Amino acid sequence: MADRDIDDLVAEWVREEIQALSAYHVPEAEGVIKLDAMENPYTWPPEMRQAWLERLRQVDVNRYPHPQAPALKEALHRSMAIPDGMGLVLGNGSDELIQMLAMTVGGPGRTILSPEPGFVMYRMIAVFLGMEYVGVPLRADDFSLDTDALLAAIDRERPALLFLAYPNNPTGNLFDAGALERVLDAAPGLVVIDEAYAPFTDASFLPRLGEWPNLVVMRTVSKLGLAGLRLGLLAGPAAWLDQVEKTRLPYNINVLTQVSATFALEHGGLFRRQTAAIRSERQRLFEALSRLPGLRAWPSEANFILVRVTAGDASELHRRLRERGVLVKNLHGSHPLLEQCLRLTVGTPEENDTLLTALAGSLGEASG
Ligand SMILES: *Cc1c(COP(=O)(O)O)cnc(C)c1O
C-alpha cells in the first residue's frame, strides 16, 4: 500500500472537473498601491480603533460563537433597512452564500445561469457542485442586458438559480430595472440579485422583496469597508431562507466577526462618509480616464471603473503599472467581451493621482 504513487491516486480520485480548475489566484501585493480588489482604502480613526479593541477584549474565544448571531442580525436589519417581515441568512462572505444557495436548489442536472462577463464565483461554485453553468453574453458596446437572449436562455435552460449582480462586476453598470422585472416574471427558479456594490449606488431591489415569490437579495459588508471580516447576508422571504439556513455550517460567522461587524455598524456615519468620498473620487477618476488618449472608460455605479486599452496592450500596461507601484486587475483573456480590459478600483485621492500619473506615463511609453 505504501508504495502507491500519490499522483496516480489523485488522478484516480479527485473529480475531473476539479482537476481541470485552477485555484483562485490572489497576486502578491506587498508594498504596492492596491487597486485590484474593490477594497475601501480608508481605515478607522484611532479613537474608534481603541473602542473596537475594548469591545474585543470582552470576547471569550474559548467559546463557540452564537449560532444565530442575533445582535449582528439586528444591526444589519437596521443599518441596511431590511424590509419588515424579511429574514436574513449570514454567510462567511457572500461567496459562502452563493455556495449555500447552490447546495439548496442545485446539484447534478440543475443549472445556474448568469449574464457574462460577471462574477466568477457563480461559475466556480456551479463546477464545485457538479451543476451546469450557462453564461448569457451582455451587449458588447455598453454591457447592458441582452434581454431577449436572456429570456430565451431562461426558457431553454430553466435554471434553478439565476444570479444578477446589480451593479455588475466587472463592468460596473446597473442593468435596466424594467428588464430585471421581466426576468423575475419569467424565471422558473430562484433569482438572486447580488447587491455587493450597494454602498456606491442608489438603486436596489431590497425594498421590493416580496413583490416576486422567487426573489432574494444578497449583500456583503466587504465593499463597504469590512472585507477582512468576511460577512455576507441573504435577505428574503422566510419560506426560502428557512431552507437555505439548513445548509449553513453551524458556526460559520466567528466571534471576532460578529462582535467587530456589530461594532462597525454602530458607526454608520463613518462608512457613509467614506463611501461618499469614494463615489466622488469615482467621478473625478472617470473624467480623468476619459481624457487619456488610448483608453476607453465605462461609467460605473460601483467602486471600480472598467477601462479598455484602445492603443496598446492591456497586459503590458498592467505590467508597467505594477512596475510603477500600482496593482490593478487585468481582465484580458478572462472573457471575449473583456479583450484588452483592466479593472481599476477607486482609491484615495492620492492613490488615484498616482494611478493617473502611472497610466499617463505607461500609455505614453507603450504607444511611443
Ligand atoms: C466581491 C463580490 C462578492 C463577494 O463578496 P464577499 O462577501 O467578499 O464574498 C459577491 N458578488 C459580487 C458581484 C462581488 O463583486
Residue 134 belongs to some domain of the structure? yes
Q: Please give the number of the atom of ligand 1 that sits closest to the Cα of 302.
A: 15
One domain, residues 83 and 199: yes
Residue 54 lies in a domain: no
Spacing, Cα 294 to ligand 1 middle (Å): 30
CA dist 271 and 274 (Å) reads 5
Tell me the pLDDT tens digit for each residue of 279-304: 999 999 999 999 999 999 999 999 99
* Mean pLDDT (whole number) for 111-132: 96
Mean pLDDT of the chain: 96
Residue 26 has pLDDT above 90, yes or no: no
Same domain, 291 and 252: no
From the CA of 223, give the closest atom in ligand 1.
1
Per-residue burial over 126-148, b if 16 or more Cβ lie within 10 Å, else e, is bbbbebbbbbbbbeeeebbbbbe
Q: 25 pLDDT exceeds 80?
A: no
Structure confidence by residue, pLDDT tens digits, 2-13: 788 999 999 999
Distance (Å, rounded) from C-alpha 78 to C-alpha 197?
18
pLDDT of residue 24: 75
Are 229 and 190 in contact by the 8 Å Cβ rule? The answer is no
Is 60 a domain residue? no
The closest of 192, 204, 138 to 161, measured between CA atoms, is: 192
Amino acid at 353: D
pLDDT at 366: 54
> How confident is the model over 112-117, as a mean pLDDT?
98
263 with 306, same domain: the answer is no
What 16-23 contacts at long range (C-beta under 8 Å, 24+ apart), as own/partner pairs, is 17/127, 17/130, 18/127, 18/128, 21/124, 21/127
Q: What is the pLDDT of residue 60?
A: 95
Residues of the chain above pLDDT 70, percent: 99
Q: What is the pLDDT of residues 150-194, one digit of tens each?
A: 999 999 999 999 999 999 999 999 999 999 999 999 999 999 999
- When pLDDT is averaged across residues 207-211 and rounded to a whole number, the result is 98
CA of 244 to the centre of ligand 1 (A): 18
Residues 277 and 222 in one domain: no
* Cβ of 114 less than 6 Å from ligand 1: no
**Average pLDDT score over residue span 210-223:** 98
- CA distance to 58, 291, 295, 355, 368, per residue, from 311 (Å): 57, 14, 7, 18, 11
Across the range 80-107, mean pLDDT stands at 97
Q: How far apart are CA 88 and CA 82, in angstroms?
A: 9
The residue whose CA has the least distance to atom 15 of ligand 1 is 169
Ligand 1: distance of its center to the CA of 94 in Å?
A: 6
Residue 107: per-residue pLDDT: 87
Closest CA to ligand 1's atom 11: 196
Whether the CB of 194 sits within 6 Å of ligand 1: yes
Range of the domain at 185: 65-267
Distance 127 CA to ligand 1 centre (A): 18
What is the count of structural domains for the chain? 2
Q: Tell me, what's the pLDDT at 29?
A: 83
The CATH number of whichever domain residue 296 belongs to comes to 3.90.1150.10
Q: What is the CATH number of the domain that holds 185?
A: 3.40.640.10
Q: Which residue has the cell 449582480?
A: 165
* CA 118 to chain CA mean position, Å: 9
**Ligand 1 in reach of 92 Cβ (< 6 A):** no
**Nearest residue to 193 (alpha-carbon basis) of 179, 206, 212:** 206
pTM: 0.96
Checking DSSP bridges between strand 33-34 and strand 326-327, what pairing results, if any?
parallel
Distance 310 CA to ligand 1 centre (A): 29
Domain finish residue from 241, 267, 293: 267
In the reported structure, the alpha carbon of residue 26 is separated from the centroid of ligand 1 by a whole-number distance in angstroms of 15
Average pLDDT over residues 221-240: 98
Residue 206 lies in a domain: yes
Please identify, among 202, 233, 267, the residue that sits at the C-terminal boundary of a domain: 267
- Identify the pLDDT of residue 368: 43
Residue 51 lies in a domain: no
Report yes or no on 57 lying in a domain: no
Predicted confidence band at 94 (pLDDT cuts at 50, 70, 90)? very high
Measured CA angle at 98 (ends 123, 154), to 5 deg? 60
Which ligand 1 atom is the nearest neighbour of the CA of 232? 7
Phi, psi of 232 (to 5 degrees): -125, 165
Q: Note whether 297 and 342 are same-domain residues.
A: yes
pLDDT grade, residue 30 (50/70/90)? confident
Written as one string, the DSSP assignment of 210-258 is TSSTTEEEEEESIIIIIGGG--EEEEE-HHHHHHHHTTS-TT-S-HHHH
- Domain for residue 53, yes or no? no
**Distance, CA of 29 to CA of 118 (rounded, Å):** 24
Q: Per residue in 184-201, pLDDT tens?
A: 999 999 999 999 999 999
- Best of 94, 114, 175 to mutate for ligand 1, by most ligand atoms within 8 A of CB? 94
Q: Cα(345)–Cα(35) distance, rounded to whole angstroms?
A: 5
- Of 267, 295, 319, the one marking the end of a domain is 267
> Is residue 331 within 8 Å of residue 343, measured between CB atoms?
yes
